[in-house]
Amino acid sequence: MSHTTRSHGAKPDQQGSHAAESHDAPALRVLQCGCGMPDVSSGERKAVAVDPEAKARNVTRLRRIEGQVRGLQKMVEEDRYCADILTQISSVQEALRSVGRELMRNHLKHCAAHAIRAGEGHEEAMVDELIELIYKHSR
């Protein structure tokens, strides 16, 4: 599984990606989500790095989940058998947990690792955030 990281001297290219300034290293593309690095233009928090394959898998899963939820709505509207609806609800919940695990993996691998390695007084806040995320994710 390949992933990309942001170098400290990265500059945005025309597509908004970041390419490393170094001329001897290949340009690295960084995909971003909403984890920690501030985005100057919007003020939103952005991820340090996102594995492009993981992002694609998550988007595909979320689209599938969206379809499952629409199916659930239709089942309820059609007064389908309760046990069948509950089974489908369980499937949707597991699919969402799967997306959550993938996002947690990315957050630990990139965002949290960066904050802890960088120091600058952010380590304790990141540990607190991770504990809260693990608690919420394990319910």
Q: Domain of 23: which CATH number?
A: 1.20.58.1000
- 123 part of a folded domain: yes
Residue type, 131: I
pLDDT of residue 6: 38
% the chain with pLDDT above 90: 40
Instruction: Give CA separation, 116 vs 4, 40, 110, 111, in Å.
Output: 19, 22, 10, 9
The pairing of beta strand 18-19 with beta strand 45-46: unpaired
pLDDT digits (tens, 9 = 90+) for 67-102: 999 999 999 999 999 999 999 999 999 999 999 999
Number of domains in the chain: 1
Give the residue numbers spanning the domain of 34. Answer: 11-138
Residue 61 resides in a domain: yes
125 in any annotated domain: yes
Residue 7 has pLDDT above 90, yes or no: no
Question: Looking at the domain assignment, is residue 3 inside a domain?
Answer: no
Q: Between 133 and 47, name the one with better pLDDT.
A: 133
**Residue 89: other Cβ atoms inside 10 A:** 14
Residue 65 lies in a domain: yes
- Is residue 4 assigned to a domain? no
Residue 6 lies in a domain: no
**H or E segment at 45?**
strand 45-46
